[in-house]
Chains A and B, each alone.
Chain A
Amino acid sequence: KQEVTQIPAALSVPEGENLVLNCSFTDSAIYNLQWFRQDPGKGLTSLLLIQSSQREQTSGRLNASLDKSSGRSTLYIAASQPGDSATYLCALLRAGNMLTFGGGTRLMVKP
């Protein structure tokens, strides 16, 4: 069974810092990996999607990498802002259209 772990569970940083969120998984037989953002009481917003054949994707200040051989993905946020405060979730799509989620990292960026 695919297990997805996100470390740390919570992170607090001062504004302007560059930071890395980690996602590890046990089964490398995946189709893609998505990073989502979830604000309190809201739905999920897709940030980046990496296909299994890709190594990274970039969108603005966000960069996500995928290393299937080691079962790891990272989300890099450059020059963090208070508006980046949210919970970040990684999710893996595997056979049978099953999207398996990690537990999330709750990020707080202090002004």
Chain B
Amino acid sequence: NAGVTQTPKFRVLKTGQSMTLLCAQDMNHEYMYWYRQDPGMGLRLIHYSVGEGTTAKGEVPDGYNVSRLKKQNFLLGLESAAPSQTSVYFCASSNRDWVHEQYFGPGTRLTVT
């Protein structure tokens, strides 16, 4: 049982390039989330999904798109990367029960030059 995994672990992009971060969970969780963590700003929610085929905006959604084509996967896309998107990105998942405990992946460190 791997829990929540993220691919890649590290990436360096040039301004204007695009990329997709992949999150996978093997716990059959309904809900999945993407956060970014920045020094002095803490963790902030980018987008989330409450089920296959559904997505919703979080606190800081601008510049990102997401897709949830399969229940176990949640993709975060950057269409035109900007230096302000340099951050550590975390994916999380939780069950659709009354507990809603969130489980986090190991993170992806992204640098945009």
Write the residues of chain A forming the contact surface with B, with a CB cutoff of 8 angstroms: 31-32, 34, 36, 42-46, 49, 51, 89, 91, 93, 96-99, 101-104
Contacts and interface: CB of A to CB of B under 8 A. Distances in A.
B102 A104 contact: no
Contacts of A42: 106-107
Per DSSP, chain B at the interface is: strand
B48 A102 contact: no
Interface string B81-113: 000000000101000001111111111000000
Contacts of A99: 33, 35, 43, 45, 92, 102
A99 B90 CA distance: 13
Given A89-B43, A98-B58, A99-B45, A43 B99 contact: no
A51 B45 contact: no
Interface in B25-60: 31, 33, 35, 40, 42-45, 48, 50, 56, 58-59
